[in-house]
Amino acid sequence: MDLAKDKEESDWDLTLHVLTINYAAIHTSSITLTHTFFYLAAYPEHLKALREEVEDVVRKYDFIKESQRLDSLPIDHVFSDGTMVPKDTTIGVATPRAHLNGDRYEDPLQFDGFCYVTLKEYVRARKAHLPRTVLL
C-alpha cells in the first residue's frame, strides 16, 4: 500500500490488480490446453503424430521440468543496441504480431498442426513463435 501511486492506492484498485495477475497466471495453462483440445477435436488426423510427440516429450520430461525451475534470466542481458534487461526481469510481448505474420507463415490464419515439422518451416517460424496468453 505504501508504494501505490495516487489512484492505485485504494483497496479496490489493488484488489483488481491482484485479480488480473492471478487470472493471467492461472488461466494461461487452461486456455492453452483448451485451445489444443479444440483443435485436436477439429483435426483428428493429427492424433497419431501428437500421441508420438507426447510420448517423446514424456521421456524427456526431467529436462523440461528442470528448465522451468530456472525460468528467469540468471544474469543481466545487454542487447546489441545497448538495451539492458536486468536479472530476474519478466517481459511481456504482443505475440499476435508474430503469430499472424504472413512473412513468417504461409497462411497465418489457417491452422496447420504440422507447420513446424519440416526443417525449412522450423527455421523460418522458430524466430516468430512466442508463447501466448489470452486475457479476457
Going by pLDDT thresholds of 50, 70 and 90, the confidence category of residue 18 is: confident
Number of H helices, E strands in the chain: 5, 2
Measuring CA to CA, which residue among 121, 91, 117 is closest to residue 104? 121
The CA distance from 92 to 105, in Å, is: 22
Domain boundaries, the chain: 89-136
Tell me what pLDDT residue 5 has. Answer: 64
Are the C-beta atoms of 28 and 90 separated by less than 8 Å?
no
pLDDT score for 43: 92
Sequence-distant (≥ 6) Cβ neighbours of residue 95 within 8 angstroms: 130, 131, 132, 133
- What is the per-residue pLDDT across 60-102, written as a single tens digit (0 to 9) for each? 666 666 665 556 667 888 888 999 988 887 777 777 887 888 8
pTM of the model as a whole: 0.40
CA distance 98 to 129: 7
For residue 54, pLDDT beyond 70: yes
The pLDDT value given to residue 127: 58
What percent of the chain stands above pLDDT 70? 67
Range scoring the smallest mean pLDDT among 33-37, 75-79, 128-132: 128-132
pLDDT for residue 71: 63
